[in-house]
């Protein structure tokens, strides 16, 4: 039989480090059913006994309302938990023990881990461990900060308690005639009794959760308890009693029940602290205070924060670019090699134009995801992430966002995909969703490549630079507006409280950062990778069929090839001609593909933007490029090169590439419609990778669909606005 | 009530958001409701708890507090729901 151990504790108490120390890399990450909160669990074996360790989301209380905390509360109260490991930060014991007072009410075996003992000792805090064991009624295992020296002692204690062989375990129920270690006083205990009398009538309910726990949670207004009561057949009696009890307590004790319970718990803890903890007379100034004098300094705080941001950005997107380029070049080389070796045809094309680029489109994100997630995990573990939120919250709050939204938004200008993954650090679901939905508006480096080609074609160098800069400002401004708009419409409920702990600075463990990076990479590959791959293959299909299966064209192409090979010219001349032949064939296939048919259908909708005078005959080709750009925005450029049968690489000594010349001379785009095209490219839809990530992080296809839809509408409106406004100003 | 009587009494309650960096106070009452109230309670904002305003963020909001030996930050909007009684530092030291 496998016993289930649940790790419970406040955020920042070192729970996840302990989890890593217990399970090593032998764990897996998934989501809790139906929500986007990560569930990490792993198996270990101690003395032949199989143990499943579940790392619960950090929580300050079991009555809290945030998604993370509800999961922890439900799992602990109802789940098949055999033993709770309650991790406590010794340097912040009183507040950490608040959760403990609630855990004790669950009536399940608990082993306490007193973590960060070194921190406590450095601050001159002395803790009487035997006294604490007596008061909490269970073994207390001291561990030292991040090195976790007590792991073996912890395993031994867990086994002892599971076997019922630990003399430190107190049976509060027997000792105190029913109520647990906490006595809430005559009035409250009386109401608990009355409530229990009603809930006990429902036997299923009594089996599911401990009646005393349920009564306390009902009084406190815990959402899970209220839900359980609503589902019970005794709900009317319970609700009536609950109303009566609350009224009675309010009139007799002058406060609502939740406040009274919290006051009693902190009262109990105040007494406990006096008995167990010796605080120093004059506490030495901590490292944290010294560091914070600099890092959250009134004038230096923001510049230092920006330095940190520049460093992370450089690491992720400048250094991360190298492995990205190698991966890209590697896959391109592989595709070219196979294309040369294999006979031209549908299967080869599926492999070289469909599958290989599809896999490449997934793998290419890995370096930047791992580096950025590593940096963010590092910032979180040091405690700086909370300071970053503290510094930026005012500015972000104006945008309807949270202080922690800043980092995803900034990193979005490198790549939206890891930026959306980085929203995980935002605890409140509302704030996270808004951030996820506005991040795609931030112009990323892939879109920059499109701007460079288009702006370089239609504007003088200075004007082009201005246009490109304008796109970035537009993206940021839109993110700000949409943030406010979403906050006041879809997410108009009260915003989550910004009651955020500023934990002490700590040195992160390299192992934890590495495990975190690996987890994130794994999650990306399995959850988002499949979507990206499927989407890339679909776009390949749309842009190749039916032309690629046209035998007539294939024969024609083969004959032309043979003809070229038979020419009496130099090898380089032949290569040049063969290249042109390939481009011509590809161009023909794409221009007669399903995507082209789609483009012709969709083109009328985009006419006000791309072809306001209805003079262009080939505006539908832009639609093909935009469709292909859905896979990744930089593909817009390479697709245009194929459609217009012109190379992207400029010839020696010329400013414009053949593609740019073709765009300028043949397509009928004007500087104004080209600008509108850029605006549309910025907004029209997040790329496939981003959509896949939105689905994964927002937890539903609904939000992913919403972001595509609002992108299309907003992009159309703004591109149209660009044309209309531009014409009013006299541009063409 | 005369000025003399006022001097002999505890300072007037004010909202936490009105405190300046460096000032201390004890919690008198939470006027927040719902999720915010619950969160404040479990973080230790209960009647009689002592807190100190450590500093304001560089942009003036949120504020950093020390409560029960740990640091936390709070938006000033949220501070405006917490009624506190300032502890007059100078008065204390003159008594001592």
pLDDT mean values, one per 10 residues, chain A (732 residues): 92 87 80 76 90 92 81 86 95 94 92 90 91 94 76 92 86 72 89 93 88 92 87 91 94 92 94 92 81 93 94 90 91 90 82 85 88 90 93 90 90 91 86 94 91 91 92 94 91 77 89 87 84 84 84 85 84 84 85 87 87 83 87 86 80 83 86 94 92 90 95 95 91 78
Write the residue in B38, B59, B64 that is nearest to A502 by C-beta. B64
Backbone region of residue A731 per phi and psi (left: phi > 0; alpha: psi in -120 to 50; beta: other values): beta
| 8 A C-beta contact, residue B49 and residue B42 | no
Chain A residues touching residue B75 (CB < 8 angstroms):
393, 397, 497-498
Shared-domain flag, residues A19 and A43: yes
Give the DSSP H or E segment for A438. helix A429-438
In the block, residue with structure tokens 């589902």: A231
Residue A684 in any domain: the answer is no
Shared-domain flag, residues A128 and A207: no
Chain A residues touching residue B69 (CB < 8 angstroms):
92, 94-95
Question: In whole angstroms, what is the distance from residue A111 CA to residue A341 CA?
Answer: 64
User: How crowded is the C-beta side of B64, counted as CA atoms within 13 Å?
Assistant: 25
The per-residue pLDDT for B3 is 52
Best of A221, A262, A278, A285 to disrupt the B interface (most B CBs within 10 Å) is A262
**Are residues B73 and A390, on separate chains, in Cβ contact within 8 Å?**
yes
Q: Does B35 touch chain A (CB under 8 A)?
A: yes
Shared-domain flag, residues A118 and A224: no
Question: In whole angstroms, what is the distance from residue B62 CA to residue B54 CA?
Answer: 11
The per-residue pLDDT for A600 is 86
Shared-domain flag, residues A104 and A144: yes
**Are residues A92 and B30, on separate chains, in Cβ contact within 8 Å?**
no
Partners of A140 in the β-ladder: A112
Shared-domain flag, residues A193 and A260: yes
Q: Does A496 touch chain B (CB under 8 A)?
A: yes
Chain A residues touching residue B38 (CB < 8 angstroms):
61, 63-65, 220-221, 258
Residue A416 in any domain: the answer is no
Residue B95 has pLDDT above 60, yes or no: no
| Radius of gyration, CA atoms only, chain B | 14
The per-residue pLDDT for A136 is 93
Candidates A529, A524, A533; CA nearest to A373 is A524
Shared-domain flag, residues A190 and A159: no
Question: What is the length of chain B?
Answer: 96
Question: In whole angstroms, what is the distance from residue A536 CA to residue A515 CA?
Answer: 29
Give the minimum alpha-carbon distance from B2 to chain A in angstroms, rounded to a whole number.
31
Residue A19 in any domain: the answer is yes
Q: Does A61 touch chain B (CB under 8 A)?
A: yes
> B13-72 pLDDT, tens per residue?
999 999 999 999 999 999 988 888 989 999 999 999 999 999 999 999 899 999 998 999
Chain B residues touching residue A298 (CB < 8 angstroms):
55-56, 58
Chain A residues touching residue B34 (CB < 8 angstroms):
494
Question: In whole angstroms, what is the distance from residue A439 CA to residue A148 CA?
Answer: 38
Chain A residues touching residue B78 (CB < 8 angstroms):
497-499
Residue B3 in any domain: the answer is no
Residue B78 in any domain: the answer is yes
The CATH number assigned to the domain holding A36 equals 3.40.50.300
Residue A170 in any domain: the answer is yes
The tokens of A77 are what? 């109260």
Shared-domain flag, residues A168 and A27: yes
Residue B93 has pLDDT above 70, yes or no: no
Nearest CA in chain A to B79: A499
Chain A residues touching residue B40 (CB < 8 angstroms):
497, 499
Residue that finishes a domain, picked among A175, A201, A235: A175
**Are residues A397 and B60, on separate chains, in Cβ contact within 8 Å?**
no
Chain B residues touching residue A285 (CB < 8 angstroms):
none
Task: Identify the domain containing residue A100 by its residue range.
Answer: 3-175
The tokens of A608 are what? 């006000």
Size of interface A-B (CB pairs under 8 A): 121
**Residues B42-56, buried b or exposed e (16+ Cβ, 10 A)?**
bbbbbeebebbbbbb
Domain count, chain A: 2
- Mind giving me the DSSP string for B45-66? --TT-EEEEEEE-TTS-SEEEE
Residue A160 in any domain: the answer is yes
Q: Does B36 touch chain A (CB under 8 A)?
A: yes
Residue B17 in any domain: the answer is yes
> A360-397 pLDDT, tens per residue?
888 888 998 899 989 998 998 899 999 999 999 999 98
The per-residue pLDDT for A721 is 95
Strand stretches in A132-267, DSSP E: 140-142
Q: Does A578 touch chain B (CB under 8 A)?
A: no
Residue B1 in any domain: the answer is no
Residue B4 in any domain: the answer is no
Residue B70 in any domain: the answer is yes
ipTM exceeds 0.90 = no
Handedness of CA A416, A417, A418, A422 (dihedral sign): positive
Shared-domain flag, residues A137 and A202: no
The CATH number assigned to the domain holding A234 equals 1.10.287.1770
| Radius of gyration, CA atoms only, chain A | 31
Task: Identify the domain containing residue B20 by its residue range.
Answer: 11-95
Question: In whole angstroms, what is the distance from residue A228 CA to residue A223 CA?
Answer: 9
Chain A residues touching residue B63 (CB < 8 angstroms):
none
Q: Does B16 touch chain A (CB under 8 A)?
A: no
**Are residues A499 and B40, on separate chains, in Cβ contact within 8 Å?**
yes
Domain count, chain B: 1
Residue B56 in any domain: the answer is yes
| 8 A C-beta contact, residue A534 and residue A527 | no
Residue that finishes a domain, picked among A263, A278, A293: A278
Computed over every residue of chain A, the mean pLDDT equals: 88
The per-residue pLDDT for A391 is 94
- Model-wide pTM > 0.95: no
Write the residue in B39, B55, B68 that is nearest to A499 by C-beta. B39
Q: Does B60 touch chain A (CB under 8 A)?
A: yes
**Are residues A262 and B46, on separate chains, in Cβ contact within 8 Å?**
yes
Question: In whole angstroms, what is the distance from residue A377 CA to residue A707 CA?
Answer: 27
Shared-domain flag, residues A20 and A81: yes
Coil, helix or strand at residue A550: coil
**Are residues A497 and B35, on separate chains, in Cβ contact within 8 Å?**
yes
Residue A144, CA distances (Å) to A90, A116, A147, A472, B66 in order: 10, 5, 6, 47, 24
| 8 A C-beta contact, residue A158 and residue A51 | yes
Shared-domain flag, residues A222 and A248: yes
Residue A384 in any domain: the answer is no
Question: In whole angstroms, what is the distance from residue A408 CA to residue A421 CA?
Answer: 8
Residue A524 in any domain: the answer is no
Shared-domain flag, residues A208 and A157: no
Chain B residues touching residue A60 (CB < 8 angstroms):
39, 42-43
Residue that finishes a domain, picked among A256, A278, A300: A278
**Are residues B73 and A502, on separate chains, in Cβ contact within 8 Å?**
yes
The per-residue pLDDT for B96 is 31
| 8 A C-beta contact, residue A73 and residue A224 | yes
Residue B89 in any domain: the answer is yes
Best of A497, A500, A501, A506 to disrupt the B interface (most B CBs within 10 Å) is A497
Shared-domain flag, residues A165 and A194: no
The CATH number assigned to the domain holding B40 equals 2.30.30.90
Residue A76 in any domain: the answer is yes
Q: Note the Cα A329 to chain centre separation in Å.
A: 29
Coil, helix or strand at residue A141: strand
């Amino acid at each position: 039989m496998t016993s289930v151990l649940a790790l419970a504790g406040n955020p920042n108490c070192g729970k996840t480090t302990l989890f890593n120390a217990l399970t090593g890399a032998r764990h897996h990450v998934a989501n809790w059913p139906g929500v986007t909160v990560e569930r990490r669990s792993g198996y270990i074996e101690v003395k032949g006994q199989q143990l499943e360790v579940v790392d619960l989301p950090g929580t300050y209380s079991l009555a809290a309302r945030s998604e993370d905390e509800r999961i922890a509360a439900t799992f602990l109260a109802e789940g098949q938990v055999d033993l709770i490991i309650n991790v406590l930060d010794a340097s912040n014991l009183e507040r950490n023990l608040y959760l403990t007072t609630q855990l004790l009410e669950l009536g399940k075996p608990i082993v306490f881990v007193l973590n960060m003992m070194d921190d406590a000792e450095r601050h001159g805090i002395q803790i009487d461990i035997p006294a604490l064991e007596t008061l909490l009624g269970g073994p207390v295992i001291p561990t030292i900060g991040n090195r976790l020296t007590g792991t073996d002692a912890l395993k031994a204690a867990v086994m002892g308690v599971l076997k019922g062989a630990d003399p430190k375990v107190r049976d509060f129920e027997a000792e105190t005639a029913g109520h647990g270690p906490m006595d809430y006083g005559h009035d409250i205990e009386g109401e608990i009794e009355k409530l229990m009398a009603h809930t006990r009538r429902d036997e299923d309910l009594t089996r599911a959760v401990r009646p005393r726990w349920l009564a306390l949670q009902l009084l406190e207004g815990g959402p899970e308890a209220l839900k359980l009561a609503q589902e019970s057949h005794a709900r009317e009696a319970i609700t009536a009693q609950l109303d009566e009890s609350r009224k009675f307590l309010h009139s007799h004790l002058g406060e609502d029940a939740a406040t009274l319970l919290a006051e009693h718990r902190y009262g109990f803890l105040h007494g406990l602290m006096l008995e167990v903890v010796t605080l120093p007379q004059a506490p030495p100034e901590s490292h944290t205070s010294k560091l914070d004098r600099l890092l959250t300094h009134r004038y230096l705080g923001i510049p230092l924060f920006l330095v940190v941001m520049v460093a992370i950005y450089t690491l992720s997107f400048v250094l991360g670019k190298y492995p990205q380029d190698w991966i890209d070049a590697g896959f391109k080389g592989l595709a070219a090699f196979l294309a040369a070796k294999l006979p031209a045809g549908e299967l080869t094309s599926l492999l070289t134009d469909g599958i290989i680029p599809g896999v490449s489109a997934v793998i290419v994100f890995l370096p930047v995801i791992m580096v950025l997630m590593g940096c963010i995990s590092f910032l979180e573990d040091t405690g700086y992430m909370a300071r970053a939120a503290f510094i930026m919250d005012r500015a972000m709050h104006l945008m309807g966002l949270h202080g922690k939204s800043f980092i995803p938004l900034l990193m979005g200008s490198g790549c939206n995909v890891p930026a959306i993954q980085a929203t995980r650090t935002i605890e409140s679901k509302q704030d996270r969703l808004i951030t996820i939905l506005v991040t795609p508006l931030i112009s990323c480096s892939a879109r920059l490549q499109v701007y460079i080609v288009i702006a370089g074609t239609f504007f003088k160098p200075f004007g082009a630079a201005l246009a490109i800069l304008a796109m970035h400002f537009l993206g940021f401004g839109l993110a700000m507006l949409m943030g406010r708009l979403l906050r006041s419409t879809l997410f108009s409920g009260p915003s989550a409280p910004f009651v955020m702990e500023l934990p002490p600075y700590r040195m992160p463990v390299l192992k934890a950062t590495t495990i975190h990076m690996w987890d994130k990479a794994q999650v990306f590959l399995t959850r988002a990778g499949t979507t990206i791959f499927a989407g890339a293959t679909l776009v390949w299909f749309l842009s190749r069929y039916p032309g690629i299966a046209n035998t007539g064209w294939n024969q024609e192409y083969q004959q032309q090839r043979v003809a070229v090979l038979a020419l009496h010219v130099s090898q380089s001349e032949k290569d040049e001609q063969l290249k042109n032949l390939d481009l011509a064939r590809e161009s023909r296939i794409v221009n007669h593909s399903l995507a082209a048919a789609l483009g012709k259908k969709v083109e009328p909708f985009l006419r006000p933007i791309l072809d306001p005078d209805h003079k262009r005959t080939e505006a539908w080709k832009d639609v093909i490029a935009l469709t292909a750009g859905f896979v990744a925005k930089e593909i817009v450029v390479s697709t245009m090169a194929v459609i217009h049968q012109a190379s992207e690489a400029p010839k020696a000594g010329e400013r414009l590439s053949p593609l740019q010349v073709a765009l300028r001379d043949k397509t009928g785009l004007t500087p104004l419609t080209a600008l509108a095209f850029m605006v549309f490219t910025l907004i029209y839809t997040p790329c496939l990778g981003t959509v896949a990530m939105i689905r994964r992080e927002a937890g539903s296809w609904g939000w992913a669909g919403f972001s595509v839809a609002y992108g299309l509408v907003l992009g159309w409106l703004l591109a149209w606005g660009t044309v209309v406004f531009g014409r009013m100003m006299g541009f063409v | 009530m005369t000025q003399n009587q006022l001097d002999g009494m505890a300072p007037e309650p004010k909202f936490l958001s009105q405190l300046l960096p460096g000032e201390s106070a004890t919690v008198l009452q939470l006027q927040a409701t719902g999720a915010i109230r619950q969160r404040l309670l479990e973080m230790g904002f209960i009647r009689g708890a002592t807190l100190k305003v450590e500093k304001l963020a560089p942009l003036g909001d949120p504020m950093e507090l020390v409560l029960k030996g740990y640091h936390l930050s709070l938006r000033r909007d949220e501070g405006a729901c917490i009624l506190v009684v300032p502890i007059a530092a100078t008065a204390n030291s003159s008594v001592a």
